[in-house]
Homo-oligomer: A and B are copies of this chain.
Amino acid sequence: MERKLLLLGLLRMHSMHGYLVLEHFESRAAMPITFKKPTVYNMLSKMKADGWVVVREEQEGKRPPRSVYEITEAGEAAFQSLLRDEVGSYTEAEFPSVVSLAFLDLLPRHEAKVLLEQRHAQIEDRLREVNASIGELDMPIHAGSALLPLRYLQRHYMAEMELLEDIIKGLSEIE
């Protein structure tokens, strides 16, 4: 559902073709969720079948023709309804990477430390990416609620890193 909301929300701002949509969602630079190519193209044709969008063929110069998707009234109604559903309800996130922490004490202290530091570095990279994409926006103060997901990701990564630091510190101390 949240994928539909997101795609409709994007098309609502600007009509666009699939390839452009992809550029928005192939990285987690703006959203804590990603789409792959076939997902986007499939969703677009499903939305067309459902009457949520209409398609217009466009050709700029000699480039490959584009199918530009524009939201319809039915699409806008779907968006409004999805928005209310989604804002008012909480869908659990799953945290696959937390599972393994339950078995941490089975690893030799030193090995655990090395592995957790690896993990920490990976999260640090993601945080840097998010920071970068926030920096790229002009006047982030005026960006309104579009910034919330990014701020959320920032907070989340920082919390994860703090947790790891605590665990690593704990491992070192008891030695």
Q: Is A31 an interface residue (CB 8 A)?
A: yes
- Cα(A90)–Cα(B121), bound, Å: 9
* A 103-134 binary contact with B (CB < 8 Å = 1; else 0): 11111000110111011001100100000000
Binds B, one of A39-47, A53-61, A149-157: A149-157
Q: Is the CB of B103 within 8 A of A83?
A: yes
Residues of chain B contacted by A148 (CB below 8 angstroms):
98, 101-102, 104, 167
Instruction: Please classify the interface of chain A as helix (H, G, I), strand (E, B), loop, or mixed, using the class held by over half of its residues.
Output: helix
CB atoms of A155 and B144 under 8 A apart: no
Query: A115 touching B84 by the CB < 8 A rule?
Result: yes
Q: How many copies does the complex hold?
A: 2
The interface residues of chain B lying within 8 Å CB-to-CB of A139 are none
In the complex, whether A18 has a CB less than 8 A from a CB of chain B is no
Residue among A32, A107, A122 facing the most chain B CB atoms (10 A cut-off): A32
Q: In the assembly, what is the distance between CA of A96 and CA of B95, in Å? A: 12
For A4, the closest partner residue in chain B by CB is B99
Q: Is A20's beta carbon under 8 Å from chain B?
A: no
Choose one: B9, B102, B118, B160; the contact of A88 (CB below 8 Å).
B118
- CB pairs A–B below 8 angstroms (26 shown): A1-B96, A2-B97, A2-B99, A5-B100, A6-B99, A6-B102, A31-B99, A33-B96, A84-B115, A86-B97, A87-B119, A89-B97, A90-B123, A91-B97, A93-B95, A94-B94, A95-B149, A95-B152, A95-B153, A98-B148, A101-B149, A102-B145, A104-B148, A152-B163, A155-B159, A159-B159
